[in-house]
Structure 1
Amino acid sequence: MLIVMAGLPASGKSALAVRIAAELRCAILSVDPIEAALWRAGIGRDQPTGLAAYVVAEDLAREQLRIGADVIVDAVNDAELARQQWRSLGAEQKIGVAFIEVVCTDEDEHRRRLETRRRPLAGFAEPTWDEVRARSVGFDGWTDARLTIDSMLSLDENLRLTLEHLRQVRAG
């Protein structure tokens, strides 16, 4: 199964992805560390490294799916083209795709999380609150079947809800 996390930066996607991966014993392919690695390798920031990170994640996911492993893709996925990328990969590999959208319904808490988060990604600047809010329009009109998780609930409760949803998706 291909599990695609989606949601604004600092919404809680990665924390949930880590818990899902631990439960399912599967890989997480996270776009931000891939992009940071491209910069460390000397690829200039003036290059389309964000797009390249999605392409790298797709190719790595394809290899894991090909050998029968579940994969979690951890990325904002706010663009329809990104979501289509994962639908196409699922169709190509003839496997289910489960979209998990993570939202933080408390805007003040979401902003606090963004402004206080420190990730171990050398040279990777966190977006501003205005940049995060601007990305929210990418989710307007999104019609894929998906589970929407509110990160204001406990991580344990969200894990339970997500695993239940994934069992249903896997069952068909």
Structure 2
Amino acid sequence: MLVVLGSLPGTGKTTIARIAASRLRAAYIRIDAIEQAMRSAGVLARPDGVGPAGYMAAYALAKENLRLGLPVVADCVNPLPETRAAWREAAAPLPIVEVEVVCSDPAEHRRRVEARTADLPGLVPPTWASVLRHEYAPWTGPRLVLDTASLGAEDAASRVCGEAAGLCAG
């Protein structure tokens, strides 16, 4: 089973994804870590020029772990219908839990973004202005929506794990 958490930066998805991955004993795939490793390796023509390469690497890692029979939790912005479809393709024929994490309180979302510190060497956290400019298409398909303005990370992770357990049981 593949669990994909997507959202704009600063909503709490990484915290939730880490808790869920630990509880599910799942492989954890974080796009930020993949993309920062590519930047740090110096293999990019431009430091901001990761493009789709990080997602392509993540899809491949997810497929390999799923092939081994491991559950996978993916942590990414997942901003476009194309990225969402690619995750579903990576999971097939196994179940997928798609999760959109939102923070419906703009002031709280901004506070979180502005208070962030990098947890990966070399990673520069986004600014509030860059979050507002981020390409992010509205979701149209079925998904679990978690609003972290009113839901704590532990409870949100419990909802993710409950959804995952329901798919595995049924």
TM-score scaled to structure 1, two decimals? 0.90
Work out the CA distance in 2 between the residues paired with 1:64 and 1:21: 13
Conservation of the 8 A alpha-carbon contact between 2:8 and 2:136:
no
2:144 alignment partner in structure 1: 147
Cα deviations across residues 117-139 of structure 1 (Å, max 9, x unaligned)?
1123233222221221233x623
Structure 2: segments with no counterpart, 5+ residues: none
Q: Deviations over 1:108-164 (max 9, x none)?
A: 1111111111123233222221221233x6232x22211001112122221222222
Which residue of 2 is the match for residue 125 of structure 1?
Answer: 124
Aligned identity (percent) is 37
Matching residue of 1:95:
94
Root mean square deviation of aligned Cα = 1.6
Corresponding residue SS for 2:144: strand
Determine the C-alpha separation between the residues in 1 that align with 2:119 and 2:166.
35
* 1:9 alignment partner in structure 2: 9
Cα offsets for 1:80-133 (capped at 9, x unmatched): 111111011122xx1011101111111111111111111232332222212212
Runs of 4+ in 1 over 3 A off after TM superposition: none
Residue 104 of structure 1 is matched in structure 2 by 103
The CA deviation at 1:38 is 0.6
Instruction: Give unmatched runs, 5+ long, in structure 1.
Output: none
The count of corresponding residues between Structure 1 and Structure 2 is 168
